[in-house]
C-alpha cells in the first residue's frame, strides 16, 4: 500500500507513467513523427520498460496480497 492508501494509489501510478511520456516518449515523437519506432527505439528505452514492468508486477502483487488478507 502507498502512503495515500488504496484509492489514490492509481493516481500515483498514472503520474509516474505520465512523467515518462513527457520525458521519453513524446520528445522522440516530436523530433520526428515519421521515424521508425522499432528496434533502435526499443533498444534506447528497454531499460525504462523493464523498470515499469517491474513496478507493475510489484503493484499487482501488493494488491493481490491485500485481497488475500481479506479472505
Residue 38 lies in a domain: yes
pTM above 0.75, yes or no: no
Instruction: Please tell me the total count of domains within the chain.
Output: 1
> Could you list the residue range(s) of the whole structural domain that residue 46 is in?
6-70
Residue 18 within a domain: yes
pLDDT tens digits for 5-59? 566 677 888 888 888 878 878 888 899 999 888 998 889 889 998 998 998 888 8
Concatenated DSSP letters of the chain: --TT-HHHHHHHHHHHHHHHIIIIIHHHHHH-TTS--SHHHHHHHHHHHHHHHHHHHHHHHHHHHHHHHH-
For residues 22 and 65, what is the distance between their CA atoms, to the nearest angstrom?
A: 32
| Per-residue pLDDT, 34 | 92
User: What CA–CA distance (Å, rounded) separates 33 from 1?
Assistant: 39
Measured in residues, the chain has a length of 71
Amino acid at each position: 500500500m502507498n502512503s495515500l492508501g488504496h484509492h489514490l494509489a492509481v493516481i500515483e501510478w498514472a503520474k509516474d507513467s505520465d512523467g515518462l511520456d513527457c520525458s521519453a516518449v513524446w520528445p522522440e515523437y516530436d523530433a520526428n513523427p515519421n521515424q521508425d519506432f522499432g528496434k533502435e527505439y526499443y533498444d534506447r528505452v528497454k531499460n525504462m520498460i523493464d523498470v515499469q514492468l517491474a513496478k507493475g508486477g510489484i503493484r499487482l502483487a501488493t494488491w493481490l496480497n491485500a485481497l488475500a488478507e481479506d479472505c
